Structure 1
Amino acid sequence: MNQQSPSSDFQQAIEIARTAVTEKQLSESAFTNLQKWLTEPQYASYQPAMLKLIEDKEFGTLDTYFWEVIPFGTGGRRGLMSDFGSATINERTIAESAHGLAVYFKKAAGAQTGKAAIARDSRINSERFARIAATVMAAHGLTVYFYKTPRSTPELSFAVRHLGCDVGAMITASHNPPSDNGFKAYWSTGGQVLPPHDQGIIDEVYQATEIPTVDFDQAVEQGLIKFIDEDVASEYRSSVAAHSHSTCRDLNGLFTPLHGVGETSVYHVLQQVGFKQVNRFEPQCEQDGNFPNVPDHLPNPERTEVYQPAIELAKKSGAEIILASDPDADRMGVCAKNNAGEFIHLTGNQVGALLADYVLRKRQENGTLTPKHYVVETIVTTPLIAEISRKANVRIINNLLVGFKYIAETMDEEGPDEFVFGTEESLGYLTGTYCRDKDAAIAALWACELAAELKSEGKTLLNRLDELYLEHGYHLEGQVSKTCKGSQGNEQIKQLMKALRNTPPQKLGNLTFTLVRDYQNLELRALPENTPSETFSKPQGNVLMFEAEGEGSPLTVQLGVRPSGTEPKIKFYYFAQTVVTDSAQLAKTKSEAQSIIKCFKESLMDWIDQTLKTS
């Protein structure tokens, strides 16, 4: 190859790749995207490296890099980092994302100028990618307000609103592994982009050829890029602290940012409001995108494993609560000590229920709650929050697709002044009007206040949870997922969704399915016939919700299924509930329900494996 002319190099490379498709070594979609990158001038700087991979027949790597054009999912563009490729996060795809956002904004607004805010977390390459996004947006005539140091996602949302920006961008991959990064796009509301803006941006991204840019330092000198940091951050922290509902501060706790940016928001807010006995877990405080002291290097506070190092210290120090934020500090997880001195990891649903109950009770006590007020949750979040909200005589809006951007949209549609609380099961929580994305800081503030108040009564968060179960019924929720990577994995996810939609299992474990709500086709279908019995109008998305009954048990169970919008996974959410009358029955019900769900989960994973084998 190397002795031929460049055009011959490219032609021969294309033919080799085409043969690889025929031999099932490269997917058709990867070949299409690879051919574009090999033949169009905007990708010229990447082409020698691509030729080398083809020459070395590294088709597995090429398929990983090119099997798709990385999409805007529920959390923007997110994925594996590489030096190049349409399916990965790299300098080109970051530049495309910033370009698409800027071009679409100017077209939608009919403007040649505007304002953008940009922030980044502590991940590998986050600063480099943030600078690329800033120079592209500045080249398009937008004045860019750039956080000088790593900051949380809610601080970016706050900055968009506080500075009157038209758009914003956050460089992060949330709780993904160290290999990943991403680009979250925000609109002038401070919320992540929604229809029709998301599709408009995507169209501009896909049409991008040559992308304008400017030198970062020169743009700073010319005032095209303006640094922001402590002044805006201080306003943000004060806005969070303003939502304090208690003066109780006697609480011994540990907080870990999991090597992310949570110290800039969560920890500083807790210190500002007076939680002086909540200390940092130092081994996980250094901002480091490799997440070296997090088990498996996976900084997801939904994983019980991430708390183990902190639990060891907490037991020695007498801590009563452990808090953990993910790398961009928009999610917040909790471990609470039980009466036996063991730390129990609370699910996002349990934390959401506790916080909803806390704020509603506080608002009732101070007379600032009316029937016009409302709580918002997604369709895969616990029904317990709806029960708590109805008991408090406020509206519950719980028919939203997964993604906090839909909660933000609801806030603006229904009126932010009547908004009390928004939550989703994946550790996302928000109150107030200061931003339009989930925020670990407000969740940590309320969790600590609630824990401190309960401590003064001789109770724990776990005790309060049991009280809620006795009042509203026992609720057991959780999630399992199947990871399916790359082009082959994408096909597997499609196969599973097709099987669940067309030929769903009649029984899993001791549960028999009786009904499915298909949010893509907007219809209810009776099972096992799988025939439509009713239609509905919204929300529409690729989600299935099954209803099941247990044999000889009063337990009712729902199973939600959806492909993840941010990770190569298909997710399964289960919701079990039943009425309990006293503490003795509650203890017995917990044991029985957990046994039923354990059997159900095992049967579900067997069904998944069998379906993929026979598809």
Structure 2
Amino acid sequence: MNQPSPTIDVQEAIKTTHAAVAEKQLSESAFTNLQRWLTEPQYASYLPSLLRLIEAEDFGTLDTYFWEVIPFGTGGRRGLMSDLGSATINERTIAESAHGLAAYFKNYSGSDTGNAAIAHDSRINSERFARIAASVIAAHGLTVHFFKTPRSTPELSFAVRHLSCDVGAMITASHNPPSDNGFKAYWSTGAQVLPPHDQGIIDEVYQATKIPIIDFDQAVEQGLIKIIDEDVASEYRNAVISHSHSTSRDLQGLFTPLHGVGETSVFQVLQQAGFEKITRFESQCEQNGNFPNVPDQLPNPERTEVYQPAIELAGQIDSEIILASDPDADRLGVCAKNNAGEFIHLTGNQIGALLADYILRKRQEKQTLTPEHFVVETIVTTPLIAAITRKANVRIINNLLVGFKYIAQTMDEEGPEGFVFGTEESLGYLAGEYCRDKDAAIAALWVCELLAELKSKSKTLFDRLDELYIEHGYHLEGQVSKTCKGSEGNQQIKELMKAFRQTPPQKLGNLTFTRVRDYQNLEIRSLPENTPSETFSKPEGNVLMFEAKGEGLPLTVQLGVRPSGTEPKIKFYYFAQVEVSDPDQLAKTKSEALSTIESFKEALMGWIDKTLETS
């Protein structure tokens, strides 16, 4: 059905949107970006749609579509899909992203030729966007290696390295809702782009006018786009399986890809490795970007709700574990049975600690560890991993900003031959040298091997966790967040970061704050005075890490505060630690620590709401 032609012209549209800014119906940033789309020739095809929105005075939609130029965050460019807009994922912003990557590479390298790898997951529009990206990059003169079928993000990272590519791109929005998609850019190492490359690409994106593009099928015929698929994927699976450290395979379980691509990587790796009694949870296996059988259509394996459908079946078939990968299969979630036969969700921190302990013990048994080997984690990942690593007489590198690209960077800077394990609390894990991004497949392989070994000793994952707590102290971690969408939400996040930085809370629940490490200002401040006491040099980022002490229980707590780099959220990470002198007191210690943290979280969210009300 044809839409009616707009009755206003460009000048009237600019006047209308300028008035909307004055009346606070439209943000200034949206007005600035809108002007470009209204007046610059590369956006001419979008003009009728834009004028209709302006004529209808649909300023809410316009603000959502234009309040920013999507930046490269911790996971690339990611956001709401729409037909147009600088702040959304659409044909133009995908083409700009691909153009920016290719143009920046050519300028940086001084070469007009090169190689690129491109993959996509099973989200809505992922294949279409991947074909656009391939067509743009091929038009720039690079040979594109294009995965024919939906694949996982770590497979793309592997392909960049395996095929000696200069750059790569993955079309995915990870665990976001069905409305979203995104573009992850990769460099020749197989890692996501880091400074200064990320800013260089964005600069090229912003300067883009007419973008070169070639017909996809024509480019395939000419050999500019080369189709790859199982030939590379099988090599990837072999690389993952080469990191097996056990022959124990007696394990009954369920795997769900949450309607994503995990069956092609995680499940096939487990089957090939010999875990024949790990079966698929069929109702969530269809590749479907609407995620129809996932609760709330939110395919995030960090959410306990996503496991509920599988738990019902797992109980009927006597499964011992449920594994879930997110839609692009770079993250793995775990639900496992405890001694009471109940399925309990493990946090990313708990899984990371168990896997670090597993690989360090295995490497110690094989005498392949030296004090020069290293484990890597981000600043918002559990301190338990650092304690386990130090006990194994191995280096811990734990001062990294959030984003697996920083773990990949550290691998190469420190020497990949010394890399043992890398992890972040949001279900990201990696070992080996085969790729440079987190991988649900290696995590699934090791979790299953560990549990199969524990099962042979009549133990559960939770028994092993308790043993680690007794040895290193009880650790309780978690995360809460506040969603703040659009330009108004972005301003709220800025206000909250400002309040935490300038006028932080002195006490929340039974916890009193004693100092804060400010990674933006690179200083440590004493509280409640909030005066600088020390400085440090790195890492630099918009993160705050508070330290607090509890009353009564000898509890130490850290609170991390940061804006998300991939979602419209501000995130709060808490880390509680208390020594356990008597194993018989562990249950009581857990209960008391949980009570303290629950009171703290309630007070924290109350302080946040009050701060936003008065800002």
Once the two structures are superposed, residues 56-102 of structure 1 have per-residue CA deviations (whole angstroms, 9 ceiling, x without a partner) of: 11111000000111111011100000000000000000000000000
- Are residue 538 (structure 1) and residue 538 (structure 2) matched? yes
Name the residue aligned to 2:208: 208
Structure 1 letter corresponding to 2:244: S
Name the residue aligned to 2:85: 85
CA distance in 2, matches of 1:200, 1:409: 18
Structure 2 letter corresponding to 1:289: G
CA distance in 1, matches of 2:432, 2:32: 47
CA distance in 2, matches of 1:548, 1:468: 23
- Are residue 266 (structure 1) and residue 266 (structure 2) matched? yes
Change beyond 3 A, Cα 1:3–1:260: closer
Paired residues for 1:503-582 under 5 Å: 503-582=503-582
Name the residue aligned to 2:222: 222
Structure 1 letter corresponding to 2:245: H
Name the residue aligned to 1:9: 9
Paired residues for 1:578-597 under 5 Å: 578-597=578-597
Name the residue aligned to 1:128: 128
CA distance in 2, matches of 1:504, 1:372: 40
CA contact (8 A) 2:371 2:394 kept: yes
CA contact (8 A) 2:37 2:47 kept: yes
Name the residue aligned to 2:152: 152
Structure 2 letter corresponding to 1:339: N
- Are residue 340 (structure 1) and residue 340 (structure 2) matched? yes
TM-superposed CA distance for 1:164, in Å, is 0.3
Name the residue aligned to 1:170: 170
CA distance in 2, matches of 1:322, 1:257: 11
Once the two structures are superposed, residues 137-174 of structure 1 have per-residue CA deviations (whole angstroms, 9 ceiling, x without a partner) of: 00000000000000000000000000000000000000
Give TM-score scaled by structure 1 length. Answer: 0.99
Name the residue aligned to 2:243: 243
CA contact (8 A) 2:564 2:571 kept: yes
Name the residue aligned to 2:308: 308
- Are residue 359 (structure 1) and residue 321 (structure 2) matched? no
Name the residue aligned to 2:421: 421
Change beyond 3 A, Cα 1:57–1:430: same
Structure 1 letter corresponding to 2:428: G
Q: Which stretches of structure 1, 4 residues or longer, exceed 6 Å deviation after superposition?
A: 2-6
Structure 2 letter corresponding to 1:536: F
3-state secondary structure, aligned to 1:524:
strand
Structure 2 letter corresponding to 1:160: V
- Are residue 329 (structure 1) and residue 329 (structure 2) matched? yes
Change beyond 3 A, Cα 1:364–1:20: same
Once the two structures are superposed, residues 167-209 of structure 1 have per-residue CA deviations (whole angstroms, 9 ceiling, x without a partner) of: 0000000000000000000000000001111111111111111
CA distance in 1, matches of 2:5, 2:334: 62
CA distance in 2, matches of 1:551, 1:460: 33
Structure 1 letter corresponding to 2:130: A
The aligned length equals 613
3-state secondary structure, aligned to 1:193:
coil
RMSD of aligned residue pairs (Cα, Å): 1.1
CA distance in 1, matches of 2:81, 2:433: 34
CA distance in 2, matches of 1:109, 1:57: 46
Structure 2 letter corresponding to 1:103: A
* Identity rate, percent: 83
CA contact (8 A) 2:6 2:48 kept: no
3-state secondary structure, aligned to 2:250:
coil
3-state secondary structure, aligned to 2:397:
strand
- Are residue 282 (structure 1) and residue 282 (structure 2) matched? yes
Name the residue aligned to 1:469: 469
CA distance in 2, matches of 1:590, 1:316: 31
Name the residue aligned to 2:493: 493
Structure 1 letter corresponding to 2:370: T
Once the two structures are superposed, residues 364-383 of structure 1 have per-residue CA deviations (whole angstroms, 9 ceiling, x without a partner) of: 00111111110000000000
CA distance in 1, matches of 2:429, 2:473: 23
Name the residue aligned to 1:298: 298
TM-superposed CA distance for 1:5, in Å, is 11
TM-superposed CA distance for 1:3, in Å, is 12
Name the residue aligned to 1:60: 60
3-state secondary structure, aligned to 2:183:
strand
Structure 2 letter corresponding to 1:502: Q
Change beyond 3 A, Cα 1:4–1:52: closer
3-state secondary structure, aligned to 1:340:
coil
Change beyond 3 A, Cα 1:176–1:492: same
Structure 2 letter corresponding to 1:281: F
TM-superposed CA distance for 1:4, in Å, is 11
Structure 1 letter corresponding to 2:144: V
CA distance in 2, matches of 1:513, 1:199: 36
CA distance in 2, matches of 1:252, 1:234: 25
Once the two structures are superposed, residues 87-142 of structure 1 have per-residue CA deviations (whole angstroms, 9 ceiling, x without a partner) of: 00000000000000000001111100000000000000000000000000000000
Structure 2 letter corresponding to 1:282: E
Query: Which consecutive residues of structure 2, in runs of 5 or more, have no partner in the other structure?
Result: none
CA distance in 2, matches of 1:474, 1:596: 14
CA distance in 2, matches of 1:269, 1:16: 57
Paired residues for 1:397-436 under 5 Å: 397-436=397-436
3-state secondary structure, aligned to 2:64:
helix
CA distance in 2, matches of 1:78, 1:3: 32
Name the residue aligned to 2:117: 117
CA contact (8 A) 2:5 2:52 kept: no
CA distance in 1, matches of 2:319, 2:5: 69
Structure 1 letter corresponding to 2:184: K
Name the residue aligned to 2:612: 612
CA contact (8 A) 2:6 2:52 kept: no
CA contact (8 A) 2:5 2:48 kept: no
TM-superposed CA distance for 1:531, in Å, is 0.2
3-state secondary structure, aligned to 1:333:
strand
3-state secondary structure, aligned to 1:116:
strand
- Are residue 49 (structure 1) and residue 53 (structure 2) matched? no
TM-superposed CA distance for 1:583, in Å, is 2.7
CA contact (8 A) 2:138 2:219 kept: yes
Name the residue aligned to 1:24: 24
CA distance in 1, matches of 2:612, 2:393: 46
3-state secondary structure, aligned to 2:478:
strand
Change beyond 3 A, Cα 1:433–1:5: closer
Name the residue aligned to 1:317: 317
CA contact (8 A) 2:118 2:169 kept: yes
CA distance in 1, matches of 2:86, 2:327: 25
CA distance in 2, matches of 1:123, 1:608: 34
CA contact (8 A) 2:6 2:55 kept: no
Deviates more, 1:13-22 or 1:231-240: 13-22
Name the residue aligned to 2:197: 197
TM-superposed CA distance for 1:582, in Å, is 2.9
Structure 1 letter corresponding to 2:594: Q
CA distance in 1, matches of 2:495, 2:59: 24
Give TM-score scaled by structure 2 length. Answer: 0.99
Structure 2 letter corresponding to 1:277: K
3-state secondary structure, aligned to 1:174:
coil
3-state secondary structure, aligned to 1:589:
helix
3-state secondary structure, aligned to 1:49:
helix
CA distance in 1, matches of 2:85, 2:196: 27
TM-superposed CA distance for 1:522, in Å, is 0.2
CA contact (8 A) 2:6 2:51 kept: no
Once the two structures are superposed, residues 450-482 of structure 1 have per-residue CA deviations (whole angstroms, 9 ceiling, x without a partner) of: 000000000000110000000110000000000
3-state secondary structure, aligned to 1:611:
helix
TM-superposed CA distance for 1:581, in Å, is 2.2
Structure 1 letter corresponding to 2:453: E
